[in-house]
Structure 1
């Protein structure tokens, strides 16, 4: 049996956190600081930009909203109605830079903590 590969998104800088949701593959481009989705036919949509930090991972809440993790300010941002808003501030809880996340069917977010702080790129983070 031979399996072929098809490229559906070309370009981008650093994709992370792929999640299948509502017929599209959702992910962040960490370096471009954007929340994106793509359809199986290759229709790429940019939904939001994280201006002041590096998005790194995402999850889907039971109500269908997307939650985006930001590494250096240690926040979870909720994408709802076309905008990002603060969902949770983890800056007092996280020991180090946070990285990647999964959300379970009850809406609990499990967030990875590196245990140390990476230096943020200029113009991003705390």
Structure 2
């Protein structure tokens, strides 16, 4: 395909595109919605989040997991259309998400070091938390300077 084709217009700040089951899913941060569109441009709102639906991924059971960053929560959207708390991560600021084949869900929380005194050279600190299939959250790793933080099912996660 050499030409570009516009599928969706009139949206705000669109992020986190994911291809799943023949449709493109994405979050519209300005509206608090997760949407899906097919190649013909038919678009539907899949979920509405009263905060910020930052990132999304699919659980092996087929449910859509959405990162609600400001609330520090993982939300579960079921095939029946229900949206419920899947895990409380205990603090805001969570970003991207990856789910392994066992259903363990990893989300990254990055922030700048408060102890850094040189604003020209910020020291990033990130942590990755894992929510097991039973939805219990636990801190897995902390890292600096882009060291590998974990390897899950052949996918390396990096903390910066």
TM-score class normalised by the smaller sequence: 0.7 to 0.9
| Distance of 1:59 and 1:24 partners within structure 2 | 13
- RMSD between aligned alpha carbons? 1.6
Please report how far the alpha carbon of residue 40 of structure 1 lies from its aligned counterpart in structure 2 after TM superposition. Answer: 1.0
In structure 1, the partner of 2:60 is 62
Higher strand share: 2
Q: Which runs of 4+ in 1 moved over 6 A?
A: none
Higher-RCO chain (CA-CA 8 Å, sequence separation at least 6): 1
Please say which structure displays the higher CA radius of gyration. Answer: 2
Please report how far the alpha carbon of residue 104 of structure 1 lies from its aligned counterpart in structure 2 after TM superposition. Answer: 2.7
Could you list the runs of 5+ residues in structure 1 that have no partner in the other structure?
Answer: 117-126
Could you list the runs of 5+ residues in structure 2 that have no partner in the other structure?
Answer: 113-160
TM-score by length of 2: 0.64
List aligned pairs for 1:42-121, cutoff 5 A.
42-51=41-50, 53-80=51-78, 81-91=80-90, 94=91, 97-115=93-111
Please report how far the alpha carbon of residue 83 of structure 1 lies from its aligned counterpart in structure 2 after TM superposition. Answer: 1.6
Instruction: Kindly provide the CA deviation profile for residues 30-72 of structure 1, in whole angstroms up to 9, marking residues without a partner as x.
Output: 1210111001110000022112x11100000111110000111
Question: How many pairs were matched up?
Answer: 111
In structure 2, the partner of 1:32 is 31
